[in-house]
Chains A and B, each alone.
Chain A
Amino acid sequence: MAIQRTRRTQTADYWLKEFAVKKDDIEQIYEWLLEQNQPRSIDELTIQLISSRCQKEEETLLKRTDQGSIYQPQERFEIGQRVVFPAIDYSAGQVIGVRDGENVRYAPFSVIQVQMDGSDGVIREFAMGFDQDHVLNRHAILAEDAGDRVPAERLHEEYGPHVRDQLVEALAQNDDFVQFGQQWFLRGLVPEVTPFHLNIAEAMIDERGHPLTVSELLKEVGLADSKESIQAYALNSALRRDGRFEETNLSGEPTWYLSALIPEAVRTKPIHLVPMHKAHGGEWLNRELHDFAREIRDEEDDLGLEAPLGGAPGHSVEYILTYPHRREGTIPLNNRGLFMLRERPADRFLVTFIDEQNHQQFRGWMLPGERYAWGLGEWYQQHEIPIGGVVKIQSDDDPFAFHVIFEKGRRRTEWIREAKVINDRLTFSMQRKALVGQCDKYVLLDEGQSSALESLWSGAGTSAPGLFEHITQLFPELAKLSGQGLVHAKTLYSAVNLTRRSSAVPIFAELTRHACFDPVGDGNWVYDDSLRDVLYTTADQMRQRARSRRQDVIVDHVQEYVANDEVQSQ
């Protein structure tokens, strides 16, 4: 028999190796929930189970101490007397003999021979009248000594996940229990939610036009008499099972909205926003390109952790509109944009956009985890904001309202690049176009017929040519517009995004590492097709650009693109 100084339920071995959920545990949880009469979290159920196991062990130990005198080496026992040994798993036995101890190290003592209970009836010997300094003389291990026991909550902290996983599995297989989120309850105690109740809920949300909490819904959806928490639990469970409803607040109190009212672009990330190429960190960029990347701040170039919540009311950020966001009516949310959020109640939540110019309000959705907000499609059209338009978004006193601003200024006419699809190829020409508002002149593009562009769109995961190949196709088309064969890096970024989603860093990294591209100043690059197979592999090579045939090539530092604006210069 194993020698045990502590209770089994106090050991890691018990919870991590021996523990398995038994029928008794489930019955005990059932009774406890019945008694509590309200849903409980899986953690609470786990603590309850742990506590119950500890309690059962205590009861067993107490029963055993009734079976005889508690053994301590200094005590004396008679033949025929029953003795309980707390240090040996509370085993008990009967004294059947006594002899003198033999060890000159100690003062004279005796040895009792004990026939242990159990089928084997083994005889073991123990010291008696042993007046030495022995741990059992100082402190007999008694079932009543609960002082050293670790509370169930602490055991839960240490071994909870292991116990919880098994408990969830057992509860899920038992029809008596139901689960909503992390809460479990007894099926028999959940009030019935009928189609009539759900129809009322649907009508309420439809009428109010925004998500409602279950507490709000319960004001009109009358369920059978029971605690409000149970009613809420029942309604939440029923709403979750009904496809008409969508849970829009996943972190706090659930809020419910109608699936039919959630735009497709909110339900699923639009294909135009799914990046085919994005920054991963460690890309080499020349210093100028690095500055451009920081200026553009494409949301897919943000590395590391998301920005914390924080910006005060009135906090604003600007972004340069690209084709994908213009087409989808979305706002890119880079870390600066995310910092504007003061509350983030759910993975996706409704917000109000306020047109700063005419104070018109319209509904939109924030999807911080997906790094975009949706709802500006009509607004972009209404204000004729082009690709390259500079848009400002500013937080309101209401944490769920945001002002959208496009500085219009006077209408003007400018020569701008217009995209055209000819023979399934993307080409560009300069056209005079009427423009309003503040634009980045390098990103500025006219998309021409977007339906034609769509036929060339390469979604992530498709077998489109690689980014370098794509750039080498686009570059000559853009270069022919300048007369000197120059293409600005930001223009290239804007043009690439007409037919595939790519953040700036991967494009700029291709420019930096391929010898066929050379920087010639002011953000402009040239292309030499004869060097398209030559790759610079070290930072020094990328800086020197030794293979260049141009006299005007700019020798610039190259920097590794890393998170948090930290760069390493070479």
Chain B
Amino acid sequence: MRAARPTVETKFHIDFAWWERQNRSPRIHMLEYLCAECRESLGAQTQAVMIDMVDPETAEVTRVDSVWEAIRACCSTKPGYVSEDTPVLDSIFRLFLANGNKPLSAQELYEQLDKRPPETILRVLTKGSVHLGIRPV
């Protein structure tokens, strides 16, 4: 049976298994998003260090890479993390990192990013191959 065609209501997230299959490290990608402060403290870490990330809404604890934790707890709260100049796909990836990879639909991404109409966001996410591991849940 073929999967249903995604709509603006279909939820997307970062599929970290995709990164593994591609033999790529999301960590390398995430390092680019660190703020100056965090880059200084974490930039020297060559290997992943797992630490506890406390969810800002539920206080649920998850074990995540320290770089992602820094992005979520610090860098994403600073101005310029997602700016007008940030490309749409990059903005979506940054948003998922900041919200703990909670699934969001194209409609919800539009409401939070206010960059492109939901239909355009959907097209960006579904056109051609998978980008940055962002796939339907």
A contact set with B: CB distance below 8 Å: 3, 5, 71, 73, 85, 87-88, 101-103, 105-106, 111, 124-127, 130, 132, 134-136
Q: Are A130 and B54 in contact (CB under 8 A)?
A: yes
Shortest CB-to-CB span from A141 to chain B, Å, is: 10
Q: Which are the 7 A-B pairs with shortest beta-carbon distances?
A: A73-B59, A125-B61, A87-B58, A127-B59, A103-B52, A127-B54, A101-B52
Is B109 an interface residue when CB atoms closer than 8 A count as contact? no
Q: Which B residues, 55 to 109, have Cβ-Cβ distances below 8 Å to chain A?
A: 56-62, 69, 73-74, 102
- Assuming the A-B contacts A103-B69, A105-B73, are A85 and B52 also in contact, with contact meaning beta carbons closer than 8 angstroms in the complex? no
Q: Are B62 and A88 in contact (CB under 8 A)?
A: no
Shortest CB-to-CB span from B49 to chain A, Å, is: 9
Q: Which residue of A lies closest to B54 (CB)?
A: A127
A126 vs B50: C-alpha distance when bound (angstroms): 16
Is B53 an interface residue when CB atoms closer than 8 A count as contact? yes
Contacts of B50 in A (CB 8 A): 102
Q: Are A87 and B54 in contact (CB under 8 A)?
A: no
A71 vs B57: C-alpha distance when bound (angstroms): 12
Is B51 an interface residue when CB atoms closer than 8 A count as contact? yes
Q: Are A85 and B58 in contact (CB under 8 A)?
A: yes
Contacts of A111 in B (CB 8 A): 52, 61
Q: Are B52 and A102 in contact (CB under 8 A)?
A: yes
Contacts of A87 in B (CB 8 A): 57-59
Contact with A along B17-56 (1 / 0, CB 8 A): 0000000000000000000000000000000001111101
- Assuming the A-B contacts A102-B51, A102-B52, A105-B73, are A5 and B61 also in contact, with contact meaning beta carbons closer than 8 angstroms in the complex? no
Contact of A134 among B51, B59, B69, B74 (CB under 8 A): B59
Contacts of B56 in A (CB 8 A): 134-135
Contacts of A102 in B (CB 8 A): 50-52
Q: Are B59 and A136 in contact (CB under 8 A)?
A: yes
Shortest CB-to-CB span from B45 to chain A, Å, is: 13
Q: Are A101 and B61 in contact (CB under 8 A)?
A: yes
Q: Which residue of A lies closest to B9 (CB)?
A: A17
A101 vs B57: C-alpha distance when bound (angstroms): 18
Interface centre among A103, A111, A134, by most chain B C-beta atoms within 10 angstroms, is A103
A132 vs B53: C-alpha distance when bound (angstroms): 13
- What are some 19 contacts across the A-B interface (CB < 8 A)? A3-B58, A71-B59, A88-B60, A101-B52, A103-B51, A103-B52, A103-B53, A105-B73, A111-B52, A111-B61, A125-B62, A126-B58, A126-B60, A126-B61, A127-B54, A127-B60, A130-B54, A135-B56, A135-B57
Q: Are A125 and B53 in contact (CB under 8 A)?
A: no
Q: How many A-B residue pairs have CB under 8 A?
A: 55
B contact set with A: CB distance below 8 Å: 50-54, 56-62, 69, 73-74, 102
Contact of A88 among B51, B52, B53, B58 (CB under 8 A): B58
Q: Are A3 and B73 in contact (CB under 8 A)?
A: no
Shortest CB-to-CB span from B72 to chain A, Å, is: 10
A5 vs B59: C-alpha distance when bound (angstroms): 12
What 20 new A-B contacts, CB under 8 Å, besides A5-B57, A73-B54, A136-B57? A71-B59, A87-B58, A87-B59, A88-B58, A101-B52, A102-B52, A103-B51, A103-B53, A103-B69, A105-B73, A105-B74, A106-B54, A111-B61, A126-B58, A127-B54, A127-B59, A127-B60, A130-B59, A134-B59, A136-B58
Contacts of B51 in A (CB 8 A): 102-103
Q: Are A124 and B60 in contact (CB under 8 A)?
A: yes
Contacts of A125 in B (CB 8 A): 52, 60-62
Contact of A126 among B53, B59, B69, B74 (CB under 8 A): B59
Contacts of A126 in B (CB 8 A): 58-61
A28 vs B50: C-alpha distance when bound (angstroms): 53
Interface centre among B57, B58, B69, by most chain A C-beta atoms within 10 angstroms, is B58
Contacts of A124 in B (CB 8 A): 60
Contacts of B60 in A (CB 8 A): 88, 124-127
A389 vs B137: C-alpha distance when bound (angstroms): 78
Contacts of A132 in B (CB 8 A): 54
Q: Are A134 and B54 in contact (CB under 8 A)?
A: yes
Shortest CB-to-CB span from B71 to chain A, Å, is: 12
Contacts of A127 in B (CB 8 A): 52, 54, 59-61
Q: Are B57 and A3 in contact (CB under 8 A)?
A: yes
Contacts of A73 in B (CB 8 A): 54, 59
A180 vs B6: C-alpha distance when bound (angstroms): 45
A105 vs B102: C-alpha distance when bound (angstroms): 22
A73 vs B55: C-alpha distance when bound (angstroms): 11
Contacts of A134 in B (CB 8 A): 54, 56, 59
A105 vs B50: C-alpha distance when bound (angstroms): 13
Contacts of B62 in A (CB 8 A): 125
Shortest CB-to-CB span from A74 to chain B, Å, is: 9
A63 vs B23: C-alpha distance when bound (angstroms): 49
Contacts of B53 in A (CB 8 A): 103
Shortest CB-to-CB span from B7 to chain A, Å, is: 13
Contacts of B61 in A (CB 8 A): 101, 111, 125-127
Contacts of B102 in A (CB 8 A): 3
A532 vs B62: C-alpha distance when bound (angstroms): 86
Q: Which residue of A lies closest to B102 (CB)?
A: A3
A5 vs B102: C-alpha distance when bound (angstroms): 14
Contacts of B54 in A (CB 8 A): 73, 101, 103, 106, 127, 130, 132, 134
A281 vs B51: C-alpha distance when bound (angstroms): 72
A296 vs B69: C-alpha distance when bound (angstroms): 79
Contacts of B74 in A (CB 8 A): 105
Q: Which residue of B lies closest to A132 (CB)?
A: B54
A3 vs B69: C-alpha distance when bound (angstroms): 20
A125 vs B54: C-alpha distance when bound (angstroms): 10
A106 vs B53: C-alpha distance when bound (angstroms): 10
A508 vs B53: C-alpha distance when bound (angstroms): 79
Shortest CB-to-CB span from B56 to chain A, Å, is: 7
A105 vs B37: C-alpha distance when bound (angstroms): 13
A3 vs B52: C-alpha distance when bound (angstroms): 19
A136 vs B52: C-alpha distance when bound (angstroms): 18
Interface centre among A73, A85, A132, by most chain B C-beta atoms within 10 angstroms, is A73
Contacts of A3 in B (CB 8 A): 57-58, 102
Q: Which residue of B lies closest to A3 (CB)?
A: B58
Contacts of B57 in A (CB 8 A): 3, 5, 87, 135-136
